[in-house]
Structure 1
């Protein structure tokens, strides 16, 4: 049963990350002609297109992507609960799903920042994935960089963002009972 739980968890989490990336790409108005962006759009378009007919965007916020992300987590929880033979409470599923989407967004941001920092040491020329990571993370790094400029060629803004993210993670785990378990 552990192997099936791992497989279900991994498949749903990977698709959840693609849906979060879809929302994030639209929020920062990233380059949608980038091959990485095209993959994200093609992977989510069959589900998001019909949802957009029912759920209109609110300004620059794509509500259908947010709802799809929550539904992906709810479907994952439902499948895992049924596999375990446990009972479920609808309100708990909804709350847990919203918290899980927030937590996965933070995890995705962490990995993107880490990969971007490592690739900045080796990147030679244009790379579409590096460009998209830059477009996705720069709105969060730029304000920090204005306060703490690079010191001797060393950019500490990513480190400051890591510390802030860790602080928020610890803070939320104190006040939201199941935050640490997601």
Structure 2
């Protein structure tokens, strides 16, 4: 019972932090405005870890590598801790095991990214219908525009209704299927 509680707490706290670090990475990658409550929340929550890490991990090509690498390392650490809590021991092949953990962690980041995209598209679609001039609308528009643009070229609005979010959501769901399969396949190496 204690092990289950600890697993739940670790997964919740570290998983949330990985999610916020990924959000920070994508906010900077897509040049989304940070002058809003959500941007300020993400910055305040991650600055204590990201700013010192930037001294060691510089950005490249406008990418905030510190946020991404920290998310990857924390996800790998989380997977390792959950593995240990199951009662497993690393054994002699710890180098291979570390490679598997960080491979699964990278696949988990891809899965988190797709879930983040799905959530942002849903929120943006609701905001565009309910209150297109909401303070968070520019943030969600900046985050979704690069992903919706190809679908907007293929599917024109029908009766002033933009169906591109629907097609983007279907595409994201389709990408999740092989990603889940690949993650399970790599995780079986543990």
TM-score (normalised: structure 1)? 0.88
Structure 2: distance between partners of 1:175 and 1:169:
10
1:81 aligned partner = 83
Among candidates 94, 102, 120, match of residue 94 of structure 1: 102
Q: State whether structure 2 residue 168 is matched by structure 1 residue 161.
A: yes
SS at 1:30 equivalent: coil
- Shift of the alpha carbon at 1:161? 0.8
How many residue pairs get matched? 180
Q: Gaps spanning 5+ residues in structure 2: where? A: 91-96
- Alignment check: 8 A CA contact 1:110 1:162 kept: yes
- Shift of the alpha carbon at 1:168? 1.7
2:13 aligned partner = 11
SS at 2:75 equivalent: helix
1:58-69 matched pairs, under 5 angstroms: 58-69=60-71
1:26 aligned partner = 28
- Shift of the alpha carbon at 1:167? 1.9
Q: Gaps spanning 5+ residues in structure 1: where? A: none
2:123 aligned partner = 115
- Shift of the alpha carbon at 1:165? 1.3
Structure 2: distance between partners of 1:98 and 1:10:
18
- Shift of the alpha carbon at 1:22? 0.6
- Shift of the alpha carbon at 1:35? 2.2
1:53 aligned partner = 55
- Shift of the alpha carbon at 1:180? 9.8
1:106 aligned partner = 114
Q: Which moved more, 1:162-171 or 1:69-78?
A: 162-171
2:152 aligned partner = 145
Structure 2: distance between partners of 1:176 and 1:78:
15
1:72 aligned partner = 74
1:35-46 matched pairs, under 5 angstroms: 35-46=37-48
- Alignment check: 8 A CA contact 1:172 1:179 kept: no
- Shift of the alpha carbon at 1:84? 2.0
C-alpha deviations, 1:51-101, integer Å up to 9, x for none? 111111111112111110101101211222232221242111110111111
TM-score (normalised: structure 2)? 0.85
